[in-house]
């Protein structure tokens, strides 16, 4: 079993929510692979227009029939309890219990995922098949949970670069047993952080593992100054299903990260979609007051696959091949970001003589010598301080790496400067 798939399977049984012990344990396990700085934000703290809620923890929950059999059992799947359910201990008929039961009539064998973060209520999720087999009762109903003052927890991993400017990778870590949404993204981000740390980087990379919506809002509220350093960013989710990559552009629509992902994906099956204020935490980073250049990278997007927010989103649903492909997309995009610079031609009057500087000879061993020669001419022609290497690659139709290598050779030769 691969490293990423093993992490998905290890995290899958934990009962995560926007607060609580399952969230902390998730961050502890991620912290075994990459060091995390943990932040705890107390209940009642004002974060932008929101308030940190009470902390929720749960030990057990069930519905028992008259024979003592657990018809619905939290121990079997943490999806069986509506997230943030208040404590319950009662004997009820099916008629009394029915308003608190949630099923998927169109998919009778599956258990749905439901939450009630900001309204103090309770409920159970079960398959329609289980519900159809329940008699009039009575049933013993028990939810052994607590909802009390505590903290919201999030974790950060920072890879320092030569520049204080940052690339943000954000994942939500609040969902319980859902492998694609959200654990595949967590696994890819964890592996990505380890890969990026192997070499010195221009940018500083910040990985944020936080509960959805309220977590990113809390981070933004506590990091207004730092948020201004973010030059590029992605929200990573739904990273392990078999669908092709989907990239949702930032609110700006033409941010460098938007152009880079379009460039990296152009020769493979993919979908590009424009920004909308619905989805994952990109809508917080792209709120108009911040307007950060943050897009969202998924495979099949939010709510776009039948297994979404159901018990079918299990570890067998995500594949190692898909997670590796998502990882490769991120690595390639960040390599373009790292090398994308804007240069000025220091010999702009006429074409400089490349032969006497040994530049043509330096390309002799390349299999793409002709492309590399053309790339040098394009870089020299377009390096007027207004066109980046990505601009030049797109206009010339030459691969970005070839253009970036040409720019480096010209830089060493003293013909361009950054």
| CATH code of 294's domain | 3.40.630.10
Question: Do residues 212 and 313 both lie within one domain?
Answer: yes
| pLDDT of amino acid 352 | 87
Which CATH number do you get for residue 111?
3.50.30.90
Residue the block writes with tokens 């108009």: 288
- Asked if residue 132 and residue 244 are part of one domain, the reply reads no
DSSP symbols for 223-284 = -HHHHTTEEEEEEE-S-SSSSPEEEEPPTTSS-HHHHHHHHHHTTSSEEEE---S-SSTHHH
Among residues 97, 117, 148, the one where a domain terminates is 148
What confidence score (pLDDT) does residue 368 get? 66
- Of 102, 132, 148, which residue constitutes the final position of a domain? 148
pLDDT digits (tens, 9 = 90+) for 39-72: 999 999 999 999 999 999 999 999 999 999 999 9
From the list 122, 58, 118, the residue with the least C-alpha distance to 92 is 122
Q: How far is CA 23 from the centre of its chain?
A: 16
User: Does residue 386 sit in the same domain as residue 316?
Assistant: no
Whether residue 204 is found in the same domain as residue 318: yes
| Per-residue model confidence (pLDDT) at position 84 | 96
Quote the pLDDT of residue 372: 85
Do residue 83 and residue 132 come from a single domain?
yes
Same-domain status, 196 and 81:
no
Closest listed residue to residue 236, CA positions, set 289, 288, 290, 191: 191
The verdict on 166 and 122 lying in the same domain is no
Q: What is the pLDDT of residue 160?
A: 97
Q: How many domains does the chain have?
A: 3
Indicate whether 184 and 243 sit together in one domain. yes
Q: What is the pLDDT of residue 41?
A: 98
Question: Domain ends where: 118, 148, 178?
Answer: 148
Task: State the CB neighbour count (10 A cutoff) for residue 133.
Answer: 10
Nearest to 139 by CA among 92, 179, 193: 92
Bridging pattern class, strands 230-236 and 294-298: parallel
Scanning the structure block, which residue is given the tokens 């350093």?
229
Please give the Cα distance from 328 to 192 (Å, whole number).
9
Is 309 assigned a ligand-binding role in the annotation? yes
Do residues 298 and 237 both lie within one domain? yes
Q: Is 181 annotated as a binding residue?
A: yes
Instruction: Output Rg (C-alpha) for the chain, integer angstroms.
Output: 26
In this structure, the answer to whether residues 158 and 273 fall within a common structural domain is yes
Q: Domain check: are 119 and 251 in the same one?
A: no
pLDDT recorded at residue 365: 57
Asked if 313 and 178 count as a contact pair (C-beta separation under 8 A), the reply is yes
The residues of the chain scoring below 70 in pLDDT are 1, 360-368
Which CATH number goes with the domain that contains 413? 1.10.10.10
pLDDT at residue number 358: 77
State which residues form the domain around 30.
3-53+151-338
- Take residue 242 and report the two structure tokens written for it: 């078999």
384 assigned binding-site residue: no
Tell me, yes or no, whether 155 and 144 share the same domain: no
pLDDT of residue 363: 55
Q: What is the pLDDT of residue 351?
A: 85
Report pLDDT for 370: 80
């Amino acid at each position: 079993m691969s490293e990423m798939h093993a992490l998905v399977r290890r995290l899958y049984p934990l009962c995560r929510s926007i607060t609580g012990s399952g969230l902390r344990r998730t961050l502890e396990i991620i912290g075994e692979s990459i060091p995390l700085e943990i932040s705890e934000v107390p209940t009642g703290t004002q974060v932008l227009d929101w308030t940190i809620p009470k902390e929720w923890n749960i030990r057990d929950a069930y519905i028992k029939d008259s024979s003592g059999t657990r018809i619905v059992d939290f121990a079997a799947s943490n999806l069986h309890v509506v997230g943030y359910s208040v404590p319950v201990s009662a004997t009820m008929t099916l008629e009394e219990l029915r308003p608190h039961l949630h099923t998927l009539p169109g998919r009778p064998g599956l258990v749905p995922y439901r939450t009630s973060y900001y309204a103090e209520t309770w409920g159970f999720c079960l398959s329609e098949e289980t519900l159809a087999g329940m008699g009039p009762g009575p049933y013993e109903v028990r939810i052994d949970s607590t909802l009390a003052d505590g903290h919201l927890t999030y974790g950060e991993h920072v890879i320092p670069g030569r520049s204080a400017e940052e690339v943000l990778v954000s994942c939500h870590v609040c969902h319980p047993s859902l492998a694609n949404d959200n654990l595949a993204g967590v696994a890819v981000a964890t592996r990505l952080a380890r890969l990026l740390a192997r070499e010195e980087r221009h940018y500083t990379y910040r990985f944020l593992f936080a509960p959805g919506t309220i977590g990113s809002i809390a981070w933004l509220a506590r990091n207004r100054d730092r948020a201004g350093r973010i030059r590029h960013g992605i929200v990573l989710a739904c990273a392990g299903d078999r669908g092709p990559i989907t990239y949702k552009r930032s609110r700006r629509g033409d941010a460098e990260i938007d152009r880079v992902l379009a460039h990296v994906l152009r020769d493979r099956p993919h979908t590009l979609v424009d920004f909308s204020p619905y989805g994952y935490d990109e809508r917080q980073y792209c709120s108009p007051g911040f307007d950060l250049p943050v897009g969202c990278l998924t495979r099949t997007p939010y709510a776009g696959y039948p297994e979404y927010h159901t018990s079918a989103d299990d570890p067998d649903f995500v594949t190692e091949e898909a997670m590796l492909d998502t990882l490769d997309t991120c690595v390639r995009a960040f390599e373009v970001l790292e090398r994308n610079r804007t240069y000025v031609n220091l010999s702009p009057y006429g074409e400089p003589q490349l032969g006497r500087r040994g530049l043509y000879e330096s390309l002799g061993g390349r299999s793409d010598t002709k492309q590399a020669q053309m790339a040098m001419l394009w870089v020299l022609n377009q390096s007027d301080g207004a066109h980046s290497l990505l601009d030049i690659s797109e206009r010339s139709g030459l691969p970005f790496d070839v253009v970036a290598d040409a720019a480096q050779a010209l830089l060493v030769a003293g013909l361009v400067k950054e």
